[in-house]
């Protein structure tokens, strides 16, 4: 039984622009995929679910927690993985980076060090203990971010296109780690194929959930519409 998403009629305006418009989302499916055009509001919704962005109106409860207000509760419940690991990483070494989240959960230095050791061992990266992050490749840095989140054992992980800049084998490997994760996943991707086996798919348009249902229905409809738009000469409607 997963955490229940309870997002009700959420709206958000930034710089005078409506970014989210009456978004309602309830459910506890293990795997939810999100698609939508550039600028449609997917990352903003991801940040709202992780409690990193407060909203103007509406209510957001994840596993019963008001994630924008209860930061300690939020980091226990929701992990988020961004597209660019450089936006996530704040420490110079792998073990400091992974330990940080565990310390934020209230673990002692010793407990956090044990957690770091355990997650590195699980991923066959024991030799990364003490290693500098700077020289790692994008895919390796993304793996550090993923390990940092998995070590915290959140019930829900929000993936904001974390695989888009990675080569195919790295992407497949990270996808396998994620597929095996016990955590519930909400996965934003521009690649509908990655979301095909999911339990539920959402299509976001202009800050609203335009389609919500089984991936077999939502994803082909999305792909057909993207191909129709891509076939047009006019790029005047390019997001933004």
Ligand X SMILES: Nc1ncnc2c1ncn2[C@@H]1O[C@H](COP(=O)(O)OP(=O)(O)OP(=O)(O)O)[C@@H](O)[C@H]1O
Both structure tokens of 204: 């976001």
Provide the Cα torsion 33, 35, 41, 43; round to 10°. 50
> Residue 189 interacts with ligand X (CB under 6 A)?
no
Tell me, by CB under 6 A, how many residues bind ligand X.
12
Kind plus residue range of the DSSP H or E element containing 123: none
Residue 36 lies near ligand X (rule: CB under 6 A): yes
Cβ proximity to ligand X: between 39 and 139 the closer is 39
Among 9, 26, 38, 238, binds ligand X (CB under 6 A): 38
88-92 contacts: CB < 8 A, separation 24 or more?
Answer: 88/145, 88/148, 89/133, 89/141, 89/144, 89/145, 91/133, 92/132, 92/133, 92/134
Q: How far is the CB of 218 from ligand X (least distance, A)?
A: 16
State the chain's maximal CA–CA distance in angstroms.
Answer: 60
Question: Of the two residues 40 and 77, which places its CB atom closer to ligand X in the complex?
Answer: 40
Helices (H) and strands (E) in the chain, counts: 7, 9
Q: Which listed residue (5, 19, 75, 163) binds ligand X by CB under 6 A?
A: 19
Give least dist CB 20 to ligand X, A: 8
Hey, which residues does 60 pair with through a beta bridge?
Answer: 7
Q: Shortest gap between Cβ of 148 and ligand X (angstroms)?
A: 22
Should residue 42 be labelled a site residue for ligand X when binding is judged by CB under 6 A?
A: yes
Min CB(199)–ligand X separation in Å: 21
Q: Does 43 bind ligand X (CB under 6 A)?
A: yes
Contact 14, 168 (CB under 8 A): no
- Binding of ligand X by 44 (CB under 6 A): yes
Binding interface with ligand X (CB under 6 A):
14-15, 19, 36, 38-44, 240
């Amino acid at each position: 039984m997963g955490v229940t998403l309870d997002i009700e009629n959420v709206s958000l305006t930034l710089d005078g622009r409506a970014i989210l418009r009456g978004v309602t989302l309830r459910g506890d499916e293990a795997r939810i995929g999100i698609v939508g055009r550039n600028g449609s509001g997917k990352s903003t919704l991801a940040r709202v679910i992780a409690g990193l962005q407060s909203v103007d109106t509406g209510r957001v409860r994840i596993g019963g927690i008001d994630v924008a207000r209860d930061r300690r509760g939020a980091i226990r419940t929701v992990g988020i993985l961004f597209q660019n690991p450089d936006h996530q990483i704040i420490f110079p070494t792998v073990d400091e980076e992974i330990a940080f989240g565990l310390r934020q959960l209230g673990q002692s230095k010793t407990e956090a060090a044990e957690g770091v050791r355990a997650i590195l061992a699980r991923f066959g990266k024991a030799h990364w203990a003490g290693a500098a992050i700077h020289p790692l490749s994008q895919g390796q840095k993304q793996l550090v971010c993923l390990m940092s989140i998995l070590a915290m054992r959140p019930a829900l992980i929000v993936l904001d296109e974390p695989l888009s800049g990675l080569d195919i084998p790295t992407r497949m490997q990270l996808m396998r780690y994620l597929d095996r994760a016990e955590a519930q996943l909400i996965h934003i991707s521009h690649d509908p194929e990655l979301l095909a086996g999911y339990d539920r798919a959402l299509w976001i348009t202009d800050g609203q959930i335009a389609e919500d249902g089984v991936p077999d229905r939502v994803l082909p409809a999305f792909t057909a519409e993207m191909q129709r738009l891509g076939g047009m000469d006019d790029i005047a409607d390019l997001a933004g």
